Every structure is written in C-alpha cells, then in structure tokens.
Amino acid sequence: MERLIRSLLQELGEDPAREGLANTPARVASVFQYLTRGYHQDVEKLLNGALFEVDYDEMVIIKDIEVYSLCEHHLLPFFGKCHVGYLPSGKVIGLSKIPRLVDMFARRLQVQERLTQQIAETIQCQIAPQGVGVIIEAGHLCMMMRGVEKQNTKMITSAMLGRFREDPRSRMEFLDLVRT
C-alpha cells in the first residue's frame, strides 16, 4: 500500500521524498488499515456471547451512536449519528455491543443505505426480536468538498424490520423517542 501511495503522490505532481511527505505513505497505509478494520471483524466474536435472556418486551433504544465510514465511491469520509431500536422477544444484546456492531460495519468501504440495512439485519438474525429499527443521519464529504459542494446537507436512511415495519404505532414510538 505504501508503494501505491508514493506513486499516487508522484501522479499528483508531488515529491514523495520531500520532508513533509517522506512518511506519508506509511501513515496513509496505517490510516486505511484502521478505517477499514471492520473487514477483519466477525459478528460472533464481537458479540462474545453478550446475548441475554430477559423477561422484557418494551422498546430498547440506543441513540446518537457516532458513525464514521468511508464512501466506497470516492474514498471520502461520511459521518453522523446512528439510532438503533428493537423490541425484545426474550433476548437482549449487551449495551456496548450495539455501538461495536455499528462500528464493525461502518469501518468498511460503504454506502449509507447498505450500512443501515446490515446493522438491522444482524440484530434481527442474532436475537430474533419482534422488530428492529435503524436510522442513520450523516454528512458526506464527497458532497461537501466536491460535486455539488453543499455543506449542510444530511442524508437520512432507515431500515425497519418486523413490527417497526408492520405496526405504525411501534414505528411512530421509535421515531418519537429518537427525536427527543
């Protein structure tokens, strides 16, 4: 990867050996390995058995989870907040595991739509709740720094499964609680 970054710097008209750029290929390679570490993570290992039997069937919401990802089209960051809710059906996920799950999928080259769906489907698969809702609100640097250059535009995506999709009252309760 360092060789490729060095070549990229040359193609841009830079001297990769100059003082400010001499260590850039190694730093960029390290950054990209960190920003895409989700490819090397596994859901089962990440959850590490933190699925608990409970007698609770009211809504569980974890909101304002910071999201940082890279747009797969331009390799530029997008970032914002993720809100996750589910209606348990006998099992819950350990609280810290939801943000870790969000990070695992976000730390890959992504489109926001797929990221939203992957989070919802994984929760559905792991604990079979009555319903799952995921909303991501994010700003995309590929839109802010280039192209249309709109600084204050946010993209909002949602994935609603089970009762969140089928029952308007459950959906509205989730949306209302996320807004507060």
Residues noted as catalytic: 71-74, 112, 140, 142
Per DSSP (E only), the strands in the chain are 51-53, 60-71, 77-87, 91-93, 109-110, 131-140, 155-162
Tokens 């192209």 label which residue?
147
Instruction: Tell me if 24 sits within 8 A of 5, measured CB to CB.
Output: yes
Chain centroid to Cα 6, Å, comes to 30
For residues 139 and 153, what is the distance between their CA atoms, to the nearest angstrom? 6
CB atoms inside a 10 Å sphere around CB 56: 14
3-state secondary structure of 78: strand
Instruction: Tell me if 86 sits within 8 A of 123, measured CB to CB.
Output: yes
